[in-house]
Amino acid sequence: MGYITKVGSFWGTVPVTSGRIFWVANADTYTVEGRSYPASDNNDGLSPERAVRTVDYAVGLCTANVGDIIMLLPGAHSSAATVTLDVAGITITGVPGDQPMASWRANAGPARNRCSITNSATAGFIFTVSADDVEICHLDLIPVAAGGRGIYAAAGADRLFVHDCTFSMIATAATSTYGIALGTLATGVVDDCIVRNCRFISGSSAQSSANGAGVVAITTAYGLTIEQCTFTMKGTAAWDRSIENLSAGTSNMLVRDCDFLNSSTAATEGITTAIQNTSGTIDGSVQVYRCYVSAGTDVATATAIVDIVLAETYLASAGGGAIANNN
């Protein structure tokens, strides 16, 4: 849990850590407490008044597994190339915004974040994670080009923790665009990743084509947990699937307390399938617990009925809805 503190002249919610905090500005000149400062990768980044200019440079300043944090100052950040998070045990975070409204769940979705980050490269990934125990939080990640990803976790990037983020898949729609993608079809395993309290938005009112999944396990993903997340389709096309498993070896994948929301109940619009276990062949490889699915959406599909287990998951309808069974 963060706490209200002062770092340099900056008041805000700063995570508790035994490591160092490196600050990153979103422009060459930025403002803190009404005063203007120059951002530069020649700065040490150790206070808001001495912020570095790029996230990539800040990653290079970090030491593995000592609790170092990269804090993005408020505003719109951008990168022309993928930022590789290759230092184990670091946290990259925006300055948290206001807290979510209370609901019947412990968390009602991410807080309103003050920081966004984009990647403008063709099929660009905003972050590639190649080290263990990386945490990413309090950011609005916006893949700009078709085929982009908000976060790509390479095989072996175990225990990735993503929380309180928004994935705005609204710029250029393409079925090859993903919010979070774990691994590749070639080889490798990603273990024990957690995606918590995030929002995935596919499409906009101006888009008539679909995106890929908000979260996709391309490689074998043991123990992947997706919880307290919201998946929202806002475009005028069908979002084929919000969560997808493409690996035959995936097991113990848990989806719980998530909402899947449509802007329309038309068959050609909205989310087609909330959770799709395309290739999983292990009995119960994907478990779905206590989720809410809008009318017009299939809760889950799989190669065999035993590959997905549903419990206490509610499928809405005009007539009042019902508890969903395995498809």
Task: Go through the domains of the chain in sequence order and give each one's CATH number.
Answer: 13-67 (no CATH), 74-323 (2.160.20)
Would the pTM count as exceeding 0.75?
Answer: yes
DSSP bridge partners of 289:
256, 311
pLDDT tens digits, one per residue of 270-308? 888 899 887 766 666 788 999 999 887 888 877 665 678
User: What contacts 191, CB < 8 A, 6 or more positions away?
Assistant: 158, 159, 221, 222, 223
Of the chain, the percentage scoring pLDDT greater than 90 comes to 44
pLDDT tens digits, one per residue of 19-57? 999 999 999 999 998 999 999 999 999 999 999 999 999
pLDDT tens digits, one per residue of 231-261? 998 767 778 889 998 887 788 899 999 999 9
Average pLDDT value for residue range 309-322: 82
CA–CA separation, 227 and 177 (whole Å): 21
User: What contacts 93, CB < 8 A, 6 or more positions away?
Assistant: 15, 69, 70, 71, 72, 135, 136, 137, 138, 139
Among 81, 83, 102, 105, smallest CA distance to 92 is for: 83
CA–CA separation, 226 and 218 (whole Å): 15
pLDDT of residue 170: 76
Which amino acid is located at 214 in the chain?
A: G
Average pLDDT value for residue range 11-26: 82
pLDDT of residue 12: 55
Q: Would you say 152 and 143 are in contact if contact means Cβ atoms under 8 Å apart?
A: no
Average pLDDT value for residue range 14-20: 81
DSSP bridge partners of 239:
271
Q: Is 88 strand, coil or helix?
A: coil
DSSP bridge partners of 32:
35
pLDDT of residue 129: 95
Sign of CA dihedral 233, 235, 241, 246: negative
Q: Would you say 180 and 200 are in contact if contact means Cβ atoms under 8 Å apart?
A: no
Q: Would you say 237 and 210 are in contact if contact means Cβ atoms under 8 Å apart?
A: yes
User: What contacts 7, CB < 8 A, 6 or more positions away?
Assistant: 14, 21, 47, 48
CA–CA separation, 232 and 113 (whole Å): 17
